[in-house]
Structure 1
Amino acid sequence: MRWDPEAYLGYADLRSRPFFELIVRIDERSPRRVADLGCGPGHLTQALSQRWPSAALEAWDSSADMVRDAQARGIDARLGDVRDWSPKPDTNVVICNAVLHWVPDHTELLRQWVTALTPGAWLAVAMPRNVDEPSHTLVRDLANEPHWRDILAEVVAPATDILDATSYAELFADLGCEIDAWETTYIQRLTGNDPVLEWLTGTTLRPVKASLDDEEWQRFRTELAPRLREAYPQRSDGTTLFPFRRVFAVARVR
């Protein structure tokens, strides 16, 4: 299953905002090593090197396409699954933005990371929490219709349960961490034709596209588009308002 860096960067400014609201809560001035897990095309990893220029910077992503884009930006990105990553002894900051909702049993992975990190290290995670929103339920409903069911029913099933902010706070508190957790719903103001469909194409619909040939993919898009237009109607000024929910947690290991 491939990522398309160009599609992902189609709404780069809007997709970047949660990242910066996450890292601003990390109160670390001079980390020795910073890990960006799920670095994508590297445009946000560059911001980490600017904030902490003296730190060694690790960047991981499971997509070869994303890693190539990150490397083209001068990031020393490596291909790898976050489930295989473990912190080096000098790791002070770990950032995992918009990744763990793809990872089954990610809460166990968070526990492993906290246990492996040294005292004083920071772990900052953010995940979309939209699985019950029309943008996602409409995709699942279409994928479960007779024509698509055999191909897509399992593909669009949520990979993992995304908890609420309180539950992540409890998870980290039980591990002895200092914890800051919160949720935000961004009202994205999108423009263009079928903008919610285009937004989803860069993320949520990626497994669908990977499972279909070109003709099937175009048919799926054609069937999904009017449903999304009804759920997210275009305003008289030509914009479409798209609520997008995120959950955040920043933990400091004691």
Structure 2
Amino acid sequence: MSPTTPVWDPAQYLRHAGHRTRPFTDLLARVPEPPRDQARIADLGCGAGNVTALLAERWPTARITGYDNSPEMLDRARAGHAADGLAFAHADVRTWVPEEPYDLIVSNATLQWVPGHVDRFADWVDGLTPGGTFAFQVPGNFDAPSHTLMRELATSPPWRARLAGVLHHEDAVLRPGAYLERLTALGCTTDVWETTYLHLLTGQDPVLDWVKGTALRPVLTALADDPEARDAFVTEYRAALRAAYPAGAHGTPFPFRRVFAVAVRET
């Protein structure tokens, strides 16, 4: 397995499910109703299925498929979210093409893992019904200490040879204006915005606990065969995070910027 293909831990990811779900609900609030009652919906990068289930709650008559390439996540999704019209299937977002017209294609915190994901937009928009919607949100915090400290450590002399090329850089996502330009050029009426959430995390080393479920997965995967090295990296990274995100009287403030886009195909 490539070190840049992370092995996911659904239980770790879901430890902060409340905070992680909020951006999706904010995205969903701006998604218009599908153009037909029995809508066809795709959730790209569905993970553990917790946000896919929100789609089923909002549109109970829709046919919804959550797609992911992680067997661990798909197993958790199938075990935890059974509903009429809701299914989960293996797919690689880098190559997935709609096999039938969709009324809504949505992606929550996934496209940052897909290099060149904007080049996939044309196929996805082409796969929408007239009046259908493509909507996504991605983290926009790659220049935050949680990420810059991780990259600095991974490229330092003790780790450079083992972790070169493992982590994403700040160009993993585009600026909001670039998304607006690309989607409007595809003939969509597009709404793009950004929000910085100020999460108040609790517990010991909560920022480390957060990134263990997401951004740190490639490092943990790359060092999985060497527990001593993995623990050494995490120990050094933990110390840096404690300095960057000091705990306050009521918890640890964790600013998190996200970028959103809702693009409706012209009828």
Instruction: Report the TM-score, using the length of structure 2 for normalisation.
Output: 0.91
Q: Deviations 1:1-42 (Å, cap 9, x if unpaired)?
A: 310000100100000000111111111153520111111111
Contact 1:102–1:159 (CA under 8 A) maintained in structure 2 = no
CA offset at residue 193 of structure 1? 0.9
Residue 3 of structure 2 corresponds to: none
Match of 1:231 among 222, 234, 244: 244
Contact 2:113–2:172 (CA under 8 A) maintained in structure 1 = no
Structure 2 alignment gaps of length 5 or more: 1-5
Of residues 23-32 and 158-167 in structure 1, the stretch that sits farther from structure 2 once superposed is: 158-167
1:68 aligns with 2:75: yes
Residue 9 of structure 1 corresponds to: 14
CA RMSD of aligned residues (A): 1.4
Match of 1:35 among 29, 36, 42: 42
Of residues 67-76 and 82-91 in structure 1, the stretch that sits farther from structure 2 once superposed is: 82-91
Count of paired positions:
253
Contact 1:140–1:153 (CA under 8 A) maintained in structure 2 = no
Of all paired residues, the percent bearing the same amino acid is 46
2:55 partner letter: L
Residue 56 of structure 1 corresponds to: 63
2:242 partner letter: R
Contact 2:45–2:110 (CA under 8 A) maintained in structure 1 = yes
CA offset at residue 236 of structure 1? 2.7
Of residues 165-174 and 186-195 in structure 1, the stretch that sits farther from structure 2 once superposed is: 165-174
Instruction: Report the TM-score, using the length of structure 1 for normalisation.
Output: 0.96
Match of 1:214 among 210, 227, 248: 227
Residue 169 of structure 1 corresponds to: 180
CA offset at residue 158 of structure 1? 2.7
Structure 1 alignment gaps of length 5 or more: none
1:35 partner letter: A
CA offset at residue 153 of structure 1? 2.4
CA offset at residue 116 of structure 1? 3.0
1:12 partner letter: A
1:20 partner letter: T
Contact 1:232–1:242 (CA under 8 A) maintained in structure 2 = yes
Contact 1:122–1:252 (CA under 8 A) maintained in structure 2 = yes
